[in-house]
């Protein structure tokens, strides 16, 4: 690696250093409590997948270039040069980690592996060694934000074609719009994903609850976060923030996308509107009696997979359970403590890589498949797009014999007057 490249990369490394990051980099005692925390290690048993081992890959470079010790006595901390080989190791560590933060529950200090992997991801971007597809998708999202007018018409036509499907699920009064778009002064801005499955059921439930809502022009997913580019993450997030401010909404509701919700909730700063996940909104409608659902709609046993970014990392834990108790007589908990729910293995952008890492995704999530099977449930509900895709893949790979469903579409399907 050329010195200039290395210097550029080290500048990127430096940009990630703040109080929390330094605490995470400087405190690990390598006690090994985190060994069993990672689903990849639990499923595949290779040392390189233990959280502390992943940390060390970043930490060794940190010691070499940012600590006096790395210069005076490099061997004591095994500090390591930032080289092409080191980049390969960083890739392996970062793109086998889903950022589920389960290890953070085990660590006696609470070291955040996702944070440390974000350094690895940024270095990979700097070296143009990140998965290209993620950068490409992030750039597309940003471009869409810059030139809204260009795609507006196509979007509106697409939405119009979906309206019939919404009405099929929930009839509305003549003259009302099944999917309102660009409504200034709406109470709630719904940020969906590009796909009917994310828009149609949600629209039906909003209409059933008599919500004064409007659909966002933008999709919630943040590829900037998956690839670990802070600037792009912010640009993608800003598109939605700008729209929410322009429409003067009181609430921004994020669709079933764990990362998008966590980013909006935790990274958007103090806003005049509140941020909710669609799961929270549905639970609220049920609690307030604004929608009613048929409890006998789903006859088979149901279990729920807590998306890591939504539950462990953003606190939406009770709401999906509250909803499911209205949807079924036979709800089965997957793990006695939601903090310990296994990751599905699809987070951190891994699922977006599709076929490229399918084999790894399947092998690394064996424990998840077993956890689902043990419940004996026939319906596996979840509230995250990535989890849904990954669980679908797992279902066929491990012959789990379940139907993977979005929680929001279960609510829409069970709506009654």
Residue from 11, 14, 15, 20 in contact with other proteins (CB under 8 A): 20
Residues constituting the chain: 417
274 binds other proteins (CB under 8 A): no
Q: How far is the CB of 385 from other proteins (least distance, A)?
A: 20
Q: How far is the CB of 398 from other proteins (least distance, A)?
A: 25
The encoded tokens of residue 68 equal: 């006096």
Q: How far is the CB of 171 from other proteins (least distance, A)?
A: 38
Q: Of 21 and 291, which CB lies nearer to other proteins in the complex structure?
A: 21
The encoded tokens of residue 96 equal: 């086998």
21 binds other proteins (CB under 8 A): yes
| Piece of 47-55, 127-135, 369-377, 391-399 that binds other proteins (CB under 8 A) | 47-55
Residue 53 region by backbone torsions, left for phi larger than 0, else alpha for psi between -120 and 50, else beta: alpha
> Cα-Cα-Cα-Cα dihedral of 142, 146, 149, 151, to 10°?
-20
**Binding to other proteins (CB under 8 A): which residues in 328-387?**
338-339
Q: How far is the CB of 119 from other proteins (least distance, A)?
A: 13
**CA-to-CA separations, 221 to 256, 332, 405, 410, in angstroms, rounded:** 10, 29, 19, 21
Dist CA 310 CA 317 (whole Å): 8
Q: Of 161 and 266, which CB lies nearer to other proteins in the complex structure?
A: 266
Question: Count residues contacting other proteins (CB under 8 A)?
Answer: 51
DSSP, residue by residue, 39-108: HHHHHH--GGGSHHHHHHHHHHHHHHHH-HHHHH-GGGGT-----HHHHHHHHHHHTT------HHHH-S
Residue from 3, 4, 75, 147 in contact with other proteins (CB under 8 A): 75
53 binds other proteins (CB under 8 A): yes
Q: Of 131 and 307, which CB lies nearer to other proteins in the complex structure?
A: 307
| Piece of 64-72, 125-133, 147-155, 201-209 that binds other proteins (CB under 8 A) | 64-72
Q: How far is the CB of 12 from other proteins (least distance, A)?
A: 17
Which residues on adjacent β-strands are paired with residue 277? 254
What is the number of other CB atoms lying within 10 angstroms of the CB of residue 359? 10
231 binds other proteins (CB under 8 A): no
Q: How far is the CB of 266 from other proteins (least distance, A)?
A: 4
Q: Of 99 and 392, which CB lies nearer to other proteins in the complex structure?
A: 99
Q: How far is the CB of 387 from other proteins (least distance, A)?
A: 17
267 binds other proteins (CB under 8 A): yes
Q: How far is the CB of 308 from other proteins (least distance, A)?
A: 10
301 binds other proteins (CB under 8 A): no
How many angstroms from the chain centroid is the CA of residue 212? Answer: 27
298 binds other proteins (CB under 8 A): no
> Cα-Cα-Cα-Cα dihedral of 389, 131, 47, 18, to 10°?
-100
What is the number of other CB atoms lying within 10 angstroms of the CB of residue 272? 9
271 binds other proteins (CB under 8 A): no
266 binds other proteins (CB under 8 A): yes
317 binds other proteins (CB under 8 A): yes
14 binds other proteins (CB under 8 A): no
> Which distant-in-sequence residues (6+ apart) come within 8 Å of 102 by Cβ?
37, 38, 39, 308, 312, 339, 340, 342, 343
3-state secondary structure of 374: helix
Strand arrangement, sheet containing 251-254: 213-215, 188-191, 251-254, 274-277
26 binds other proteins (CB under 8 A): yes
Dist CA 384 CA 260 (whole Å): 10
**Binding to other proteins (CB under 8 A): which residues in 83-122?**
101, 104-112, 115
Q: How far is the CB of 167 from other proteins (least distance, A)?
A: 37
| Piece of 70-78, 90-98, 172-180, 370-378 that binds other proteins (CB under 8 A) | 70-78
On whether the CB atoms of residues 241 and 220 are closer than 8 A, the answer is no
Dist CA 350 CA 340 (whole Å): 21
In the complex, the residues that contact other proteins under the rule CB under 8 A are: 17-24, 26-33, 35-36, 47, 50, 52-53, 56, 67-69, 75-78, 101, 104-112, 115, 266-267, 311-315, 317, 338-339
């Amino acid at each position: 690696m050329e010195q200039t490249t290395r210097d550029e990369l080290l500048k990127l490394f430096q940009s990630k250093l703040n109080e929390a990051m330094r605490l995470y980099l400087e405190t690990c005692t390598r006690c090994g409590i985190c060994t069993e925390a990672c689903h990849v290690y639990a499923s595949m048993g290779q040392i390189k997948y233990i959280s502390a081992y992943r940390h060390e890959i970043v930490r060794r470079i940190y010691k070499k270039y940012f600590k006096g010790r790395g210069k005076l006595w490099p061997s004591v901390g095994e500090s390591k040069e930032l080289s092409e080989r080191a980049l390969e190791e960083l890739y392996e560590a970062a793109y086998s980690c889903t950022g589920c933060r389960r290890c953070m529950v085990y660590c006696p200090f609470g070291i955040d592996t996702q944070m440390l992997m974000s350094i690895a991801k940024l270095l990979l971007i700097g070296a143009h060694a990140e998965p290209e597809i993620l950068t490409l998708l992030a750039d597309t999202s940003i471009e869409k934000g810059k030139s809204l007018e260009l795609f507006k018409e196509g979007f509106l036509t697409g939405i119009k074609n979906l309206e019939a499907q919404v009405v099929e699920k929930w009839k509305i009064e003549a003259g009302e719009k099944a999917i309102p778009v660009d409504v200034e002064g709406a109470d709630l801005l719904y940020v969906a994903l590009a796909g009917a499955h994310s828009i149609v059921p949600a629209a039906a439930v909003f209409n059933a609850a008599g919500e004064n809502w409007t659909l966002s022009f933008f999709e919630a997913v943040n590829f900037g976060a998956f690839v670990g580019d802070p600037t792009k993450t912010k640009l993608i997030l800003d598109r939605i923030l700008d729209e929410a401010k322009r429409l003067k909404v009181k609430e921004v509701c994020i669709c079933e996308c764990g990362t998008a919700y966590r980013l909006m909730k935790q990274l958007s700063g103090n806003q005049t509107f509140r941020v909710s996940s669609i799961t929270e909104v549905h639970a609220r409608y049920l609690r307030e009696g604004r929608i009613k659902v048929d409890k006998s709609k789903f006859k088979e046993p149901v279990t729920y997979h807590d998306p890591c970014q939504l539950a462990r990392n953003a606190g939406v834990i009770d709401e999906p359970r509250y909803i499911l108790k209205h949807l079924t007589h036979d709800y089965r908990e997957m793990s006695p403590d939601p903090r310990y729910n296994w990751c599905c293995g699809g987070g951190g952008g891994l699922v977006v890589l599709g076929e490229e890492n399918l084999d790894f995704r399947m092998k690394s999530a064996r424990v998840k498949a077993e956890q689902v099977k043990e419940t004996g449930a026939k319906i596996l509900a979840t509230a995250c797009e990535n989890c849904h895709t990954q669980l679908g893949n797992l279902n066929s790979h491990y012959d789990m014999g379940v139907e993977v469903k979005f929680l929001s579409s279960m609510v829409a399907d069970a709506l009654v007057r």
